[in-house]
């Protein structure tokens, strides 16, 4: 083959490759950082761009769309020494590719670790119950804390979401035991309160019963006294009638004693009338 032809072909290939290397098309949603001889030169925007081949080079292709960063789950100790598990996600946008490339080695990992450390700091200031119930507050404080720090890296934090925040497995067991003990305590208190009220009601019932019994005895005693007084007034000057009444009651009492299962022999005095007169004599003497 003719050497001049080989030279022409080689020159054509060289020119073609040079043109290809010099013409760059940047897709939408990306910005390319260009270095010239190892030093930052310019940033290619989306569209057609021209660079000097063999002198300029693409240092990094930066995605300017929102980037989703998943922050791994980690253990966090609360203010009252409880261990909880929490993780998060962050939506980040590169606003200055130059700072994102030269300000930090790997901005994605840097934001992840920044969120992790800030999250531990925020939750560490809260007690367990507050941390579990203040997800929105934690999210707001987290975004506010890291927003200013990432500005030096040419980044903007769109949003930070707490995916999950829960007690650790050992902490969950302890909380279950605590809840069970609290339920047992409440049940014991309720039972004791019920026993106390029942005892009070029983005592009040006995007191009321005793009071009514006493009142009944007083009424019966008053009635008996009035009955005796009325009998004495009616029997004044009528010994025979009174003796008859007393003798009748005496005989009825003897009959009841005779019909009793425990009674074996009943002796009736022959002088019942004398006995009654003796009782009347004592009553009048009184």
Decide if pLDDT at 68 tops 70: yes
What confidence tier does 27 reach under pLDDT thresholds 50, 70, 90? very high
Beta bridge partners of 23: 50
The CATH class that applies to domain 67-173 reads: alpha beta
Residue 152 to residue 138: CA distance in whole angstroms: 23
Quick one: pLDDT band at residue 175, thresholds 50, 70, 90? low
Task: List strands edge to edge, sheet with 155-167.
Answer: 67-77, 83-94, 155-167
What pLDDT shows up at residue 32?
92
Q: How many other C-beta atoms can be found within 10 angstroms of the C-beta atom of residue 160?
A: 26
Name the residue with higher pLDDT: 180 or 13.
13
In this predicted model, what pLDDT tens digit does every residue of 231-280 receive, in sequence order? 667 655 555 555 555 666 666 666 666 665 655 555 555 555 565 555 55
Residue 286's pLDDT band, with cuts at 50, 70 and 90, is very low
Task: Categorize the per-residue pLDDT at 222 as very low, low, confident or very high, splitting at 50, 70 and 90.
Answer: confident
* Across 115-141, average pLDDT: 85
| Helix residue ranges per DSSP H, 125-261 | 128-133, 135-147, 169-235, 239-259
The pLDDT mean for the chain works out to 79
- Phi and psi, residue 73, nearest 5°: -70, 140
- CA torsion, points 217, 220, 221, 226, in degrees to nearest 10? 160
pLDDT band at 182 (very low <50, low <70, confident <90, very high): confident
Which SS3 state, helix, strand or coil, does residue 51 take? coil
The stretch 98-121 carries a mean pLDDT of 88
98 is written with which tokens? 């130059």
Asked if residues 162 and 143 have their Cβ atoms less than 8 Å apart, the reply is: no
User: Residue 165 pLDDT > 70, yes or no?
Assistant: yes
> What percent of the chain is helix, strand and coil (3-state, nearest 5)?
60, 25, 20
Angle at 63 between CA 61 and CA 64, to 5 degrees: 130
CA separation for the pair 36, 53 (Å, rounded): 10
Give residue 213's pLDDT.
81
pLDDT bin (cut points 50, 70, 90) of residue 283 is very low
CA distances (Å), 142 to each of 78, 105, 115, 138, in order?
A: 16, 23, 7, 6
């Amino acid at each position: 083959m003719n050497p001049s032809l080989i030279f022409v072909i080689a020159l054509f290939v060289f020119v073609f490759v040079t043109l290809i290397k010099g013409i760059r098309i940047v897709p939408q949603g990306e910005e390319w950082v260009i270095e010239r001889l190892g030093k930052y030169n310019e940033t290619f925007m989306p569209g057609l761009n021209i660079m000097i081949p063999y002198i300029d080079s693409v240092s990094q292709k930066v995605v300017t769309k929102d980037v989703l960063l998943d922050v791994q789950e980690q253990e966090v100790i609360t203010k009252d020494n409880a261990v909880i598990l929490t993780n998060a996600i962050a939506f980040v946008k590169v606003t200055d590719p130059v700072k994102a490339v030269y300000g930090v080695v790997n901005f994605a990992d840097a934001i992840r670790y920044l969120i992790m450390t800030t999250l531990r700091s925020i939750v560490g200031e809260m007690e367990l119950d507050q941390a579990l119930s203040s997800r929105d507050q934690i999210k707001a404080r987290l975004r506010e804390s890291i927003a200013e720090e990432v500005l030096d890296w040419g980044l903007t934090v769109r949003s930070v979401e707490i995916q999950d925040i829960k007690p650790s497995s050992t902490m969950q067991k302890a909380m279950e035991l605590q809840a069970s003990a609290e339920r047992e305590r409440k049940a014991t208190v309720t039972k004791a309160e019920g026993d106390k009220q029942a005892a009070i009601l029983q005592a009040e019932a006995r007191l009321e019963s005793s009071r009514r019994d006493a009142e009944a005895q007083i009424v019966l005693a008053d009635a008996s006294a009035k009955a005796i007084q009325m009998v004495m007034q009616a029997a004044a000057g009528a010994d025979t009638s009174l003796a008859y009444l007393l003798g009748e009651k005496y005989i009825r009492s003897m009959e009841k004693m005779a019909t009793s299962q425990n009674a074996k022999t009943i002796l009736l005095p022959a002088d019942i009338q004398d006995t009654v007169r003796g009782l009347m004599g004592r009553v009048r003497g009184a």
